[in-house]
């Protein structure tokens, strides 16, 4: 029996999940020790309860997908609206190095998936599904490419398979990022930057980096709220317009990438053309709220029985992908980014979008920086690379590999 939660009940459920996650992290020391993000802690408990309802009573719960998509688009819009060109310049050489590291990782992920699929007697295209298509690309990329593989390449069940792999990646990305970063910090005796005097009680000013201090107090006014809502509306309208314009073209980008790009265009046009001062604190509040609610709904919507039904060979591939990611992040990403505290936080983010999604990456980094201190470099680099450049690179890789293997 299917039970569908409409928009209102989905929102209520998401808030309950976040409150549950906050309570769990606050009362269970091992969750804090492993730096598990609050939405992940509460969401996995809720997903497990949904699975029990399915296994015992046969009830399949579904939640409003449009609300989840809306919060995701707001989150990516907030990244774009926070990225003026002066901040992007600050990334400099480190951003380029991280981009190269991730580009190589895309190749590693597809090599692991494709080679194991071939060895296990599966279609090599299944290896791509269990590679960067779903693990680094997430549910949106899995759905888009899954339909292409079913329609044009005859890979039966590619959509369902892709969603299951993306679900696995979302869970693993949120579980391993924090512990790996903490292990690196302890192993190399790294320390975050010292807190500024009185910073615990001070307000975050307009120059604060987005998402870096989600628990800091931010004063926003009614006028600032209305202006910020107008900015988000512009980003969402731009994303919808560009998705429609590029539909059917050979090279397409997911809607959330257009939302981020719209935010960058709007923010920098206001900054450098109209000299309008964007209210960063309001963007921070909306972005962090959207991030938490998106993750809560995404984890509520996990169909764990799809993971339970995965064939043995696919489980082998996904397990190998997890090990490959951990080895690569600890051995390559950490070293390439400087072997310092910022590099360790970047590794938490790498795990987040390397197996899950950019919101998971940000949540992973927040869990680390809440305990060890801020990392301006990580919060500057990861959102832009994970949300924008990654999808461009991944699309190029996938189009090329599908033509070769198909």
Query: Residue 144: which CATH number?
Result: 1.20.1530
Residue 70 within a domain: yes
The first and second tokens of residue 377, run together, are 């470099």
Residue 201 within a domain: no
Q: How many CB atoms lie within 10 A of CB 316?
A: 15
Helices 280-300 and 222-245, axial angle in degrees (round to 10):
60
Give residue 143's pLDDT.
62
Contact call for residues 154 and 342 (beta carbons, < 8 A)? no
Nearest to 40, CA basis, from 57, 58, 24: 24
Contact call for residues 205 and 219 (beta carbons, < 8 A)? no
Q: Tell me which residues of the chain have a pLDDT lower than 70.
A: 33-35, 84-91, 139-141, 143-144, 147-148, 157, 159-160, 194-218, 250-252, 306-311, 387-388, 406
DSSP track, 96-140: HHHHHHHHHHHHHHHHHHHHHHHHTT--HHHHHHTTTTTTTTHHH
CA–CA dist 209, 189 (Å, integer):
26
Burial of residue 340 (number of CB atoms within 10 Å: 0-12, 13-18, 19+): middle
User: What range does the domain containing 71 cover?
Assistant: 2-193+206-405
Residue 150 within a domain: yes
Contact call for residues 361 and 353 (beta carbons, < 8 A)? yes
Give residue 186's pLDDT.
92
pTM: 0.70
Residue 382 within a domain: yes
Host H or E run for residue 322: helix 312-328
Give the chain's domain count. 1
Task: Report pLDDT digits (tens) over 357-378.
Answer: 777 888 889 889 888 888 888 8
Give residue 231's pLDDT.
94
Give residue 194's pLDDT.
65
Residue 198 within a domain: no
Give residue 204's pLDDT.
39
Residue 238 within a domain: yes
Q: Which residues of 318-335 are buried (b: 16+ CB within 10 A; e: fewer)?
A: beebbebbbebbbebbbe
Contact call for residues 35 and 367 (beta carbons, < 8 A)? yes
In 297-369, DSSP assigns E strands to none
Measured between alpha carbons, how far is residue 142 from residues 76, 95, 128, 243 in Å? 18, 26, 10, 17
Nearest to 105, CA basis, from 405, 336, 359, 383: 336
Residue 200 within a domain: no
Residue 386 within a domain: yes
């Amino acid at each position: 029996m299917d039970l569908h939660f409409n928009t209102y009940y989905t929102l209520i459920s998401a808030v309950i999940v976040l409150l549950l996650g906050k309570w769990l992290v606050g009362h269970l020391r091992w969750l804090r020790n492993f730096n598990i993000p609050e939405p992940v802690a509460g969401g996995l408990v809720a997903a497990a309860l949904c699975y029990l309802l399915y296994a015992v009573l046969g009830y399949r719960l579904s939640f409003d997908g449009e609300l989840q998509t809306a919060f995701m688009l707001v989150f990516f819009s907030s990244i774009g609206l926070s990225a003026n060109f002066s901040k992007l310049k600050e990334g400099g050489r480190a951003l380029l190095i991280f981009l190269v590291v991730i580009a190589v990782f895309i190749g590693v992920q597809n090599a692991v998936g494709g080679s194991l699929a071939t060895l296990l007697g599966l279609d090599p295209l299944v290896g791509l599904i269990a590679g960067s298509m779903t693990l680094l690309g997430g549910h949106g990329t899995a759905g888009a490419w899954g339909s292409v593989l079913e329609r044009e390449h005859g890979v039966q069940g590619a959509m369902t398979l892709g969603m299951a792999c993306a679900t696995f990646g979302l869970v693993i990305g949120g579980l391993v990022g924090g512990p790996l970063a903490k292990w690196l910090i302890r192993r190399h005796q790294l320390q975050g930057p010292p807190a500024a005097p009185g910073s615990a009680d001070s307000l975050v000013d307009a120059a604060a980096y987005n998402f870096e201090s989600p628990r800091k107090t931010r004063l926003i006014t009614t006028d600032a709220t209305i202006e910020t809502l107008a900015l988000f509306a512009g980003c969402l309208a731009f994303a919808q317009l560009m998705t429609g314009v590029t539909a059917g073209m050979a090279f397409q980008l997911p809607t959330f990438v257009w939302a981020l790009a719209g935010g960058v265009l709007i923010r920098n046009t206001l900054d450098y053309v109209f000299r309008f001062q964007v209210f960063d604190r309001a963007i921070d509040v909306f972005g962090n709220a959207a991030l938490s609610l998106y993750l809560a709904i995404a984890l509520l919507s996990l169909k764990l029985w799809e993971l339970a039904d995965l064939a043995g060979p696919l489980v082998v591939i996904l397990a190998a992908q997890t090990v490959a990611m951990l080895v690569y992040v600890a051995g390559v990403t950490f070293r390439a980014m400087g072997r310092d505290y910022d590099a360790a936080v970047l590794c938490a983010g790498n795990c987040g979008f390397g197996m899950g999604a950019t919101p998971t990456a940000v949540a992973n980094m927040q869990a680390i920086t809440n305990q060890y201190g801020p990392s301006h470099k990580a919060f500057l680099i990861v959102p832009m690379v994970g949300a924008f450049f990654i999808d461009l690179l991944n699309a190029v890789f996938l189009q090329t590999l599908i033509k070769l293997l198909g």
